[in-house]
A and B are shown apart, each in its own frame.
Chain A
């Protein structure tokens, strides 16, 4: 941090104002950091819960799929997987959490799979469709966690920089300038006193 230091009362006053502003900013950043920590904790617990659910659902789905594959063969499975001509449509909207831009995934259109798949595939297709919605939610939360974590890291760096570097530097500078100003005021006082004494002495001789 480089500051062109002037040892004046005006500059000291300016520094004190700046320090007060920095302290306010530090306090606000601390509040933001605490809130981000709360948000990330909330997101992580939601993520863990949903991930556990999705993992179980995926296991179940793969088990069913393996059984269908074994009973009907690869060709039946491949051809069945191509029967849905509709595609799922999603929209990714930006959302702000404590000033952090995070994505919000909205499913705009989910194809209706009833009567679209061969009857023996329908159940697995329904399960897969439900899991896709959960996977999207999982991706959304994962992205929220990533974005908040990145911002949290930056906020933490700022808070630490203010706390450990900027504020102490300003305080030291204020203290040093204050001391120098006090010292020069004392010197000035002494000088005036001496001049006064010399003048009084000179007047007495006359």
Chain B
């Protein structure tokens, strides 16, 4: 089967995504019971029937999200594109390792850590079980180093640097893997990844400019971006300019940057995902039958997953409706 089959299936799967109207309706609900009832007729309905607690609800939504990714990956394995997709989806593996290391640092038990991890072992580059068995953080880092899946320096100054190193390894691998997708589709994928890294790097710059992050740590956290501002240039920005410079120099991301400057980082995260989604949507029309559409579908999947999670936690905490809308990527 050719890659076109995967793209067409992604188009088909996209029709199962929840409509924006339903997401907005869900955001206006007052109880978790109503939330479950409203999703009864969707893919989530059957699985949500038996769940009771917030964490169970969260896990069920994550389960549907992962099942969708697994289906896509299965088709990709038969029709090509799996090589890149697997590497791209390794971000959930990095996320798992990050959570695992944080918990190890906090001396959490194996059971506690296991309950936290995303059950997506198919894409894992590393034996998670082995890290789980590690007695402390140092031993866990040794396991990661030995696996050679992630490049970690011999000495790590802080947890932030450690997490940044993992993400650096991930993006380096994904950028390399772009060569495995058809030449005509590479540009969009590379630009999207470039944008993703650009936004992460700019956040690091601004946090350093507003003195919420040491310059030394910030420099170590920069991720190499072959499709955006280079690390060398970012270092120069860091040394020479204040936060206003970034607003003038990167006007396209103004809303994102302003939120970081004003200390509203969680909202900046939503803005980051909105920018990525908007970028993917812009590329869609001229390149309808393109591998990029599969990536766009994955972004949409993640946006739906995060929106549903945000809504149910908002309902749980009784966050006002107007604030809930600000937490949605699909608002």
Contact = CB atoms under 8 A, between A and B. Distances in A.
Interface residues of A, number: 29
A84 B317 contact: no
B113 to A, nearest CB: 9
Contacts of A78: 116
A85 B269 CA distance: 26
The 4 closest A-B pairs by CB, nearest first: A82-B106, A66-B317, A79-B99, A70-B313
Contacts of A73: 58, 306, 309, 313
Given A79-B102, A79-B103, 14 more contacts: A64-B266, A67-B319, A70-B310, A70-B313, A73-B306, A74-B58, A80-B102, A82-B105, A83-B102, A83-B106, A115-B159, A116-B158, A119-B203, A120-B265
B160 A85 contact: no
B198 to A, nearest CB: 16
Contact of B107 (A79, A85, A115, A123): A85
Interface string B197-227: 0000001000100001110010000000000
A126 to B, nearest CB: 9
A82 B102 contact: yes
Nearest to A120: B265
A71 B213 contact: no
A118 interface: yes
B227 to A, nearest CB: 23
B263 interface: yes
A123 B263 contact: yes
B265 A123 contact: yes
A87 to B, nearest CB: 11
Contacts of B41: none
Determine the main DSSP class of B at the interface with A. helix
Contacts of B87: none
5 contacts: A70-B324, A71-B310, A74-B313, A79-B99, A114-B214
Interface in B67-108: 98-99, 102-103, 105-108
Contact of B327 (A71, A74, A80, A117): A71
B327 A84 contact: no
B163 interface: yes
Nearest to B157: A115
Contacts of B58: 73-75
Contacts of B265: 119-120, 123
Given A72-B266, A85-B107, A120-B265, A79 B313 contact: no
From A71, A84, A114, A118, residue with most partner B Cβ within 10 Å = A71
B314 A70 contact: yes
Interface string A50-82: 000000000000001011111111111011111
Interface of B: 54-55, 58, 98-99, 102-103, 105-108, 116, 118, 157-160, 163, 203, 207, 212-214, 217, 263, 265-267, 269-270, 306, 309-311, 313-314, 317, 319, 323-324, 327
A66 B313 contact: yes
B217 A115 contact: yes
Contact of A115 (B203, B213, B306): B213
B159 A71 contact: no
A116 B160 CA distance: 7
A4 to B, nearest CB: 70
A155 interface: no
Contacts of B313: 66, 69-70, 73-74
B266 A68 contact: yes
Contacts of B103: 79, 82
A37 B22 CA distance: 62
Contacts of B314: 66, 70
Interface in A79-125: 79-85, 114-120, 122-123
A104 B27 CA distance: 48
A71 B207 CA distance: 19
B157 to A, nearest CB: 8
A74 B55 contact: yes
Given A79-B102, A85-B105, A69 B317 contact: yes
B214 A71 contact: no
A81 B203 CA distance: 22
Given A67-B319, A82-B108, A119-B207, A74 B54 contact: yes
A85 B203 contact: no
Contact of A84 (B99, B106, B160, B266): B106
A14 B306 CA distance: 88
A67 B327 contact: yes
Contacts of A72: 266, 269
B216 to A, nearest CB: 10
B327 A70 contact: yes
Contacts of B157: 115
Contacts of A81: 106
B99 A120 contact: no
